Amino acid sequence: MIKDTSAQDIVIDGKGMSKRKLAVGGAVLLLIAFAANAIITQPKASMSVDRNALQIATLENGDLIRDVTANGRIVAANAPQLYAPEQGFVNLLVKAGDEVNKGQTVAVVESPELENQLKQQRSEFKRLEGELARQELDARRQTLQLTKQLDLASVDLDAAERENRRAQASIVNNLISQIDLEKAVDDLARAKLNFKHAKQEVELAKDTLAFELDSARSTVSTQGLVVEELERKINDLQILASVNGVVGNLLVQPRALVSKNLALMTLVDLSAYEAEVNVAESYANELSLGMPVEIRIGNERLMGKLASISPEISNREVTTRVRFEQDNISNIRQNQQVTARVLLENKSNVLKVRRGSFIQAGGFIAYKIENEIATRVNIELGASSMREVEVLNGLQANDQIIISNYDQFENADTVLLRN
């Protein structure tokens, strides 16, 4: 008879098996409950993005320096141009880059026409001087003649007075007739009248001669001024350097025919430089003289102030001049490129955040981060600087927001951030 395997069987306790199943089932139910609670309490995200691909910044309170950046170049504070004083042929005595001293002759303009005018006017001046000398001699001659006539009239008057006295004395003793007495009286009256007229003629003639001489002298003096003016113009054909420095640009060719007031060359005063900065026209109304400006030349930073602002806008920019506060600045060159930062305003204790591409969305929304969820909120931005921007409404200090571009969010209300 074959034996069965009943001797090898183990009797299982039914109560222990039931307890184990209950424990496993309870654990599964607990996990399901936790997962369901997490799903219910977690905000619903419209989309998800990689957190490491985003730029995130924290809001803070502090000072905000409102500024604007612009590009520019170094220019000489004093770079005068020299002009041709008259039409003629120019001889350049210097080349571009040559050092010059103030008062040095740098060019000469040859003007044959002006030289010919000077010769003509000098000749006219000598002719007028000779004419004046002749009139002075004539005046002396006429004065002498008139004086002679006055002296003769005076002699005739004295003689008539003597004859009248003799006639008056003779008529008392009946030595002469009444007719002779009356003739003596008439001769005296005639002599007095001749003397009076002669005296008046001499005075009038002297006044006339004096007037004519003054007129002639005035003509000579005027002609002398004409000669002096031409001589001055001839001297001005020697063009002198107005500053100590170097020759910048030659604007004409040697021996060129130039017109009056044509620019010949530019001189550069190396003792003082300024920065010419072009600022966007949107900031034109906010610029004012004296504003501080930070100039960056390579690795060096210099401070200056706005010294001038152009009244016109060109190529959507306004040109300004910045005068450096430091003296004797070295290692800078004419036309060297610079970067300028104009400090428009300094605001204290404002809520601010680092600048980012999120401003391109218009500055009205931001994505605020809480528990790995970025929620879209409405904000209001204020003043901005090169590095930071002021937040007026919608956020608080220590809030974190995404400052990178929002185009990938597609205006979603919430975004899940994946680690």
Are the C-beta atoms of residues 393 and 405 closer than 8 Å to each other? Answer: no
The total of structural domains in the chain comes to: 3
- The model's confidence at residue 213, banded by pLDDT at 50, 70 and 90, is confident
- Flag whether pLDDT at 358 surpasses 90: no
Query: Mean pLDDT across the chain, nearest whole number?
Result: 83
Are the C-beta atoms of residues 59 and 381 closer than 8 Å to each other? Answer: no
Percentage of the chain beyond pLDDT 90 is: 36
**Strand-pair partners of 65:** 346
Measured CA to CA in angstroms, residue 102 lies from 82, 119, 244, 247, 267 at distances of 13, 31, 5, 12, 10
**Residue 187 is assigned to a structural domain of this protein:** yes
Give the closest residue to 289 by CA, choosing from 312, 310, 313, 305.
305
Q: Are residues 124 and 183 in the same domain?
A: yes
Q: Are residues 116 and 197 in the same domain?
A: yes
Q: What SS3 state is found at 266?
A: strand
What's the predicted TM-score (pTM) here? 0.53
- The model's confidence at residue 368, banded by pLDDT at 50, 70 and 90, is very high
Distance between first and last Cα of the chain = 73
pLDDT of the residue at 261? 93
Pull the structure tokens for residue 419.
């680690």
pLDDT of the residue at 22? 57
pLDDT of the residue at 419? 80
- The model's confidence at residue 77, banded by pLDDT at 50, 70 and 90, is confident
pLDDT of the residue at 36? 45
Q: Are residues 170 and 147 in the same domain?
A: yes
Domain boundary among the residues 231, 250, 277 is at 231
Q: What are phi and psi of 373, to 5 degrees?
A: -120, 125
**Residue 277 is assigned to a structural domain of this protein:** no
Q: Are residues 187 and 202 in the same domain?
A: yes
Are the C-beta atoms of residues 350 and 66 closer than 8 Å to each other? Answer: no
- Which has more pLDDT, 242 or 21? 242
Average pLDDT (244-248) is: 89
Q: Are residues 91 and 134 in the same domain?
A: no
**Residue 364 is assigned to a structural domain of this protein:** yes
Q: Are residues 142 and 93 in the same domain?
A: no
**Strand-pair partners of 346:** 65
- Flag whether pLDDT at 39 surpasses 50: no
pLDDT of the residue at 166? 75
**Residue 249 is assigned to a structural domain of this protein:** yes
Tell the residue number behind the tokens 């060297």, with chain if given. 336
**Residue 42 is assigned to a structural domain of this protein:** no
pLDDT of the residue at 31? 56
Q: Which has the minimum average pLDDT: 22-31, 45-54, 76-85?
A: 22-31
Pull the structure tokens for residue 395.
């956020």
Helix-strand-coil percent breakdown of the chain, rounded to 5? 40, 35, 25
Tens of pLDDT, residues 85-135: 999 999 999 998 899 999 999 999 999 999 999 999 999 999 999 988 888
Q: Which has the minimum average pLDDT: 16-20, 22-26, 119-123?
A: 16-20
Domain boundary among the residues 214, 249, 267 is at 267
Starting at the edge strand found earlier in the chain, the sheet holding 88-92 runs 238-240, 105-110, 88-92, 257-258
Q: What is the CATH number of the domain that holds 97?
A: 2.40.50.100
Measured CA to CA in angstroms, residue 403 lies from 53, 177, 353, 379, 412 at distances of 11, 144, 9, 13, 15
Residue 42 identity: Q
Domain housing 392: 47-65+348-418
Residue 404 identity: S
Q: Are residues 117 and 220 in the same domain?
A: yes
**Residue 296 is assigned to a structural domain of this protein:** no
- Flag whether pLDDT at 1 surpasses 50: no
Give the closest residue to 77 by CA, choosing from 241, 276, 246.
276
Q: Are residues 244 and 182 in the same domain?
A: no
pLDDT of the residue at 204? 83
Q: Are residues 157 and 252 in the same domain?
A: no
Q: Residues with Cβ < 8 Å from 308, sequence gap 6 or more? A: 289, 320, 321
**Residue 339 is assigned to a structural domain of this protein:** no
Q: Are residues 117 and 208 in the same domain?
A: yes
Measured CA to CA in angstroms, residue 359 lies from 64, 378, 380, 388 at distances of 17, 13, 11, 11
- Flag whether pLDDT at 236 surpasses 60: yes
pLDDT of the residue at 273? 86
